Amino acid sequence: MAEEKDSGVESGEESPVLQSDENASGSTVDPNTSSDEVNPGALDDEAAVDESAETSPEMALEEVRAQLADAEDRALRAVAEADNIRKRADKAVENAHKYALESLTEKLLPVLDSFEKAVETVADDGQENDGSVHATLEGVELSFRLFTDVLQKVGIKSIDPTGEPFDPEYHEAMSMLENPDAEPGSVLEVIQKGYTLNDRLVRPARVLVAKDMSEPKKAP
């Protein structure tokens, strides 16, 4: 009888436990239920994957196109920069050839002035009838012409603006003189010739300029 009671108690205690488990689960799972009914969110994930797979090639193509356009732009810029560098280098080489004699020209100008002054001095000496003086004058003039011809061949030219309008870029005014017969602002006399090397000024011509006679005289 005691065993029956114990077994009865044990059997009686088991029932509430099973009932509690069923209540805790809240529902029972039907083994015949499909996987779609168990996890309805799986369909959304698969749809997102399919959509990503469909759009990713287009996005990749656009990205490749953008990279190609950027590469073309950089290539064009590189070509333009290389062309500019080449032009600057060519210009530098050209200037180096054209103006390499500038320093030498500055040193030769005093020699050229001395030749010119010698020719003028001998010509103004008033002894043209003297055979020795005449021969000396011809020799000096010939040497002077040869010298100037050589300078012209290398691009050195003289500036002798007598009677021309004063140009501050190539002339240096030493004084202003009144001369009613000259155009105001014109060069009356060249004290020292100027010179250029391939059109670049090496030395300005030192000149006397005609003063404008219409300007009122300043009170002392």
Q: What is the pLDDT of residues 39-74, one digit of tens each?
A: 555 555 555 555 555 568 888 888 888 899 999 999
**pTM check: above 0.85:** no
186 within a domain of the structure (yes/no) = yes
Q: How far apart are CA 73 and CA 69, in angstroms?
A: 6
Closest Cα to residue 150, out of 95, 101, 103? 101
CATH number of the CATH domain containing 137 = 2.30.22.10
Q: Which residue has the higher pLDDT, 158 or 101?
A: 158
Residues in Cβ contact with 157 at an 8 Å cutoff, skipping those fewer than 6 apart: 151, 195, 196
Question: 159: domain range?
Answer: 102-211
Phi, psi of 114 (to 5 degrees): -65, -40
Are 194 and 171 in contact, with CB atoms under 8 Å apart? Answer: yes
Are 202 and 106 in contact, with CB atoms under 8 Å apart? Answer: yes
Residue 35: exposure state from Cβ atoms within 10 A (0-12, 13-18, ≥19): exposed
Sign of the Cα pseudo-torsion (129, 132, 138, 144, in order): negative
What does the pLDDT read at residue 17?
45
175 within a domain of the structure (yes/no) = yes
User: What is the tens place of the pLDDT at every residue in 79-116?
Assistant: 999 999 999 998 888 888 778 888 888 888 998 898 88
153 within a domain of the structure (yes/no) = yes
199 within a domain of the structure (yes/no) = yes
Closest Cα to residue 179, out of 219, 208, 206? 208
Q: At 43, which amino acid appears?
A: L
Q: Which residue has the higher pLDDT, 12 or 206?
A: 206
The total number of structural domains in the chain stands at 1
116 within a domain of the structure (yes/no) = yes
122 within a domain of the structure (yes/no) = yes
141 within a domain of the structure (yes/no) = yes
CB neighbourhood size of 131 (10 A): 9
Residue 187: exposure state from Cβ atoms within 10 A (0-12, 13-18, ≥19): buried
71 within a domain of the structure (yes/no) = no
